Amino acid sequence: MRRPMVAGNWKMHGTRASVAELIGGLNQQALPAEVDVAVFPVSVHLGQVVEGLSGGVVSVGAQDCAVEPGQGALTGEVSGEQLRDVGCKLVLIGHSERRLILGDSEEQVVRKFVAAQVAGLVPVLCVGETLEQREAGETLAVVARQLDSVIEALGVAALSDAVVAYEPVWAIGTGLTATPGQAQDVHAAIRARVAVKDANVAGALRILYGGSVKAVNAAELFGMPDIDGGLVGGASLNADEFGAICRAA
Ligand code: PEP
């Protein structure tokens, strides 16, 4: 069976002091051994978080990586290898805030996905539709297109060392959560699309739900057959709440 995962996206939040407090709170949580837990701080806090988390229970990931591997002339960017070097194990790729606010194109998302895997990081590929697209009945087509970009460029096997996060844009940071049924429908469609190429890869692929996940709604969402955990934004900034979400997985 698939091992559940709960990932906390801290987005552009935190100072050294508040991050130290959050790490302290996380270190006190009773986290379930059967769940993979990861947090994604801003890059300048990665070293602090890697060093501060005790016991190796919580993995650390970055929120983005450069399209190019290694080192070089790419001002302002951080490569997958550099993220590995400071202790990262995972990286978010194609988060909707990067796609929609920072202009990450489909091509850049694929290049970042490749760069992550070349560096030995697990990419967490974020997909999801806007409210406009949902209302136009385009949800499955949008998600399929975002998934296909990676599958067509790299082959379906690339998903065996990756995680997918379905995050409807209209549910991110809005307090609106997809109903467990709405989320399950999209998760099942993602898995079915991968299964057409390779049933084994599809069966093993972890698909996380993201969009206003909280302690009060986590258990119901995570109870759906194709929802393998969550990508949590706002609620991951509170260690007790995040701990409760992890225990619901
Ligand atoms: C996110 O940013 O990935 C996210 C899901 O945010 P929130 O939980 O705050 O909606």
Question: What is the per-residue pLDDT across 178-234, written as a single tens digit (0 to 9) for each?
Answer: 999 999 999 999 999 999 999 999 999 999 999 999 999 999 999 999 999 999 999
State yes or no: pLDDT of 170 exceeds 90. yes
| Domain count of the fold of the chain | 1
User: CATH number for the domain including 25?
Assistant: 3.20.20.70
**Residue bearing the CA closest to ligand 1, atom 2:** 233
| DSSP 8-class letter at 205 | -
Question: Which residues sit with their C-beta closer than 6 Å to ligand 1?
Answer: 9, 11, 167, 172-173, 210-213, 231-235
Check: complex ipTM more than 0.95? yes
Residue range of the domain that includes 215: 5-248
Residues 150 and 113: beta-carbon distance below 8 Å: yes
Name residue 72's beta-bridge partners: none
Q: DSSP alpha helices (H): ranges in 89-214?
A: 96-100, 106-118, 131-135, 139-154, 180-197, 199-204
Of 231, 236, 237, 242, which is best to mutate to test ligand 1, by the most ligand atoms within 8 angstroms of its C-beta?
231
Residues 86 and 50: beta-carbon distance below 8 Å: yes
Question: What is the per-residue pLDDT across 80-115, written as a single tens digit (0 to 9) for each?
Answer: 999 999 999 999 999 999 999 999 999 999 999 999
